[in-house]
């Protein structure tokens, strides 16, 4: 069966087969539905079902509470239509129209930024440019249809190369390859730009929160905002375990010295004696919550590990942040890994 999906308030319509996710159907037909992990975890693709019915033939999403489901919320990356649908997804239509390309890239440079973080500088073919918005990500395409998402750490103002900050995940298929085998000049295939994590036009002051390599997309955003003059207050919080994990601390401090509207608060969760750390400690989202008891006037952008994102979402919404002003990329594992992990558990 094929069902019609109508998106409100934009009025876009598309058709969904019963054996595909609503997200896949929309993207296939050029409707820019928002999404992040594509594995039912991060919640970026959440929409409200205004009429009709969906189900989850590919597994129940972990990123929705039973109460949210009861209130009609669905995660479109996992949901399939059981009838014609009317869905509420306010971001659709507000998305800029940027072509998603699949391109070969060459690893121009590899630089170890910390014990478990590698910077990759990727060079595009001479005749190609990748149009993207600061903060978006690309998928690295591997064999057997596998893909791994990594945020773009540079701004599109200099798009002759792409910069990635890759954390080594112990036992991880691709990141172990990067750390143990990959050499400069290696060839990769990428697909992008992807995702809706980029700066949205607004007059409101901004809080940026990065956990670990969650700093990467924020770096791209900041480079772009600084190039445009940084006219409103921007507060950057960067949470890591110990001091060496602040792998671009001196770069950020040099930005702060040149941009009076930019503030920077590094937060260590496990400072080591040799760090001789006098700064903030604990979880980065708790530092933000303590410094901004009322978040109702802010736009918040955060990226990093899923536990940080989930805890921060809860804390910030309780402190007055409007859901519409919270933007995030949750660094989930790839859909194939999440699926394999779920199958192993079952
Ligand atoms: C939008 C987005 C942007 C991102 N940006 C960044 C970024 O800028 N920088 C960054 O460092 N990361 C980023 N990530 C996270 C990054 O994509 C993952 O860390 C990466 O996919 C890991 O790939 P891998 O092949 O090394 O690990 P995988 O092979 O996917 O394995 C991940 C973990 O799962 C375990 N595992 C795998 N299979 C199983 C199984 N069957 N049972 C049990 N355990 C299993 C592995 O041992 C390992 O610990 C981003 C993620 C998203 C979604």
> pLDDT tens digits for 222-249?
999 998 888 899 999 999 999 999 999 9
Is the CB of residue 137 below 6 angstroms from any atom belonging to ligand 1? yes
Which atom from ligand 1 is nearest to the alpha carbon of 171?
A: 47
Residue 218 has pLDDT above 90, yes or no: yes
What is the residue-averaged pLDDT of the chain? 92
Rounded to a whole number, what is the distance in angstroms from the first to the last CA of the chain? Answer: 30
Which atom from ligand 1 is nearest to the alpha carbon of 36?
A: 1
Q: Phi-psi category of 273—alpha, beta or left, where left has phi over 0 and alpha has psi -120 to 50?
A: alpha
Closest residue by Cα to atom 42, ligand 1, is: 341
% of the chain with per-residue pLDDT over 70: 98
CA–centroid distance, residue 200 to ligand 1 (Å): 27
**Residue among 152, 175, 212 whose CB has most ligand 1 atoms within 8 A, to mutate:** 175
Q: pTM for the whole thing?
A: 0.84
Question: Could you tell me the pLDDT band of residue 141, with boundaries at 50, 70 and 90?
Answer: very high
Q: What is the mean pLDDT of residues 190-210?
A: 92
**Residue among 23, 115, 122, 149 whose CB has most ligand 1 atoms within 8 A, to mutate:** 149
Give the C-alpha separation, 303 to 134, whole Å.
13
Residues 172, 202 contacting (CB under 8 angstroms): no
**Residue among 23, 169, 245 whose CB has most ligand 1 atoms within 8 A, to mutate:** 169
Nearest one of 130, 105, 110, 129 to 121, comparing CA atoms: 110
Sorted by where each starts, the structural domains of the chain and their CATH numbers stand as 2-88 (3.10.20.30), 101-196 (2.40.30.10), 206-330 (3.40.50.80)
Closest residue by Cα to atom 30, ligand 1, is: 337
Give me the pLDDT at residue 338, please.
Answer: 87
Q: What is the mean pLDDT of residues 6-28?
A: 88
Give the C-alpha separation, 35 to 45, whole Å.
4
Residues 281, 243 contacting (CB under 8 angstroms): no
Is the CB of residue 165 below 6 angstroms from any atom belonging to ligand 1? yes
CA–centroid distance, residue 252 to ligand 1 (Å): 26
Is the CB of residue 166 below 6 angstroms from any atom belonging to ligand 1? yes
Question: Could you tell me the pLDDT band of residue 96, with boundaries at 50, 70 and 90?
Answer: low
Using alpha carbons only, give the angle 240, 202, 289 rounded to the nearest 5 degrees: 35
Q: How far out from the chain centre does Cα 149 lie? A: 9
Is the CB of residue 149 below 6 angstroms from any atom belonging to ligand 1? yes
- Tokens 């929160």 found at: 209
CA–centroid distance, residue 319 to ligand 1 (Å): 31
CA–centroid distance, residue 333 to ligand 1 (Å): 4
90/15: higher pLDDT: 15
Is the CB of residue 37 below 6 angstroms from any atom belonging to ligand 1? yes
Is the CB of residue 338 below 6 angstroms from any atom belonging to ligand 1? no
Which atom from ligand 1 is nearest to the alpha carbon of 153?
A: 8
Omega prior to 193 cis, within 30 of 0: yes
Is the CB of residue 169 below 6 angstroms from any atom belonging to ligand 1? yes
Neighbouring C-beta atoms of residue 334, cutoff 10 Å: 21
Least confidently predicted of 36-50, 70-84, 131-145, 155-169: 36-50
pLDDT digits (tens, 9 = 90+) for 253-262: 999 999 999 9
Residues 79, 21 contacting (CB under 8 angstroms): yes
% of the chain with per-residue pLDDT over 90: 71
Question: Could you tell me the pLDDT band of residue 95, with boundaries at 50, 70 and 90?
Answer: low
Closest residue by Cα to atom 27, ligand 1, is: 172
Question: Could you tell me the pLDDT band of residue 117, with boundaries at 50, 70 and 90?
Answer: very high
32/292: higher pLDDT: 292
**Residue among 39, 154, 172 whose CB has most ligand 1 atoms within 8 A, to mutate:** 172
pLDDT digits (tens, 9 = 90+) for 27-68: 777 677 888 778 888 888 899 999 999 999 988 888 888 888
Measured in degrees and rounded to the nearest 5, phi and psi for residue 197 equal -90, 95
């Amino acid at each position: 069966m094929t069902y019609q999906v109508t998106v409100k308030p934009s009025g876009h319509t598309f058709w969904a087969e019963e054996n595909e996710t609503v997200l896949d159907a929309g993207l296939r037909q050029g409707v820019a539905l928002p999404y992040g992990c594509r594995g039912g975890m991060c919640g970026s693709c959440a929409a409200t079902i205004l009429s009709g019915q969906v189900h989850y033939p590919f597994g129940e999403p972990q990123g929705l509470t039973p109460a949210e489901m009861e209130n009609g919320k669905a995660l479109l990356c996992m949901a399939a239509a059981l009838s014609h649908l009317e869905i509420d997804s306010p971001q659709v239509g507000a998305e800029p129209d940027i072509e998603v390309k699949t391109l070969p890239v060459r690893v121009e440079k590899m630089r170890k930024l910390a014990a478990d973080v590698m910077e990759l500088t990727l060079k595009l073919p001479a005749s190609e440019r990748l149009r993207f918005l600061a903060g978006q990500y690309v998928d690295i395409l591997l064999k057997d249809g596998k893909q791994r998402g990594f945020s773009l750490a540079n701004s599109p103002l200099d798009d002759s190369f792409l910069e990635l900050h890759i954390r080594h995940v112990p036992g991880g298929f691709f990141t172990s390859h990067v750390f143990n085998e990959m050499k400069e000049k290696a060839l990769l295939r990428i697909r992008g730009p992807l995702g809706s994590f980029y700066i949205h036009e607004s007059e409101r002051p901004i809080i940026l929160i990065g956990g670990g390599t969650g700093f990467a997309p924020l770096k791209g955003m900041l480079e772009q905002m600084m190039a445009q003059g940084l006219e409103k207050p921007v507060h950057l919080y960067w949470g890591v375990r110990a001091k060496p994990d602040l792998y671009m601390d001196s770069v950020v401090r040099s930005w702060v010295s040149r941009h009076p509207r930019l503030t920077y608060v590094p937060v260590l969760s496990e400072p080591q004696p040799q760090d001789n750390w006098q700064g903030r400690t604990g979880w980065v989202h708790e530092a933000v919550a303590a410094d901004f008891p009322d978040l109702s006037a802010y736009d918040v952008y955060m990226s990093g590990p899923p536990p940080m994102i989930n805890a921060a979402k809860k804390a910030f919404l309780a402190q007055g942040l409007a859901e519409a002003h919270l933007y995030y990329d949750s660094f989930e594992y790839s859909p194939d890994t999440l699926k394999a992990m779920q199958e192993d558990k079952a």
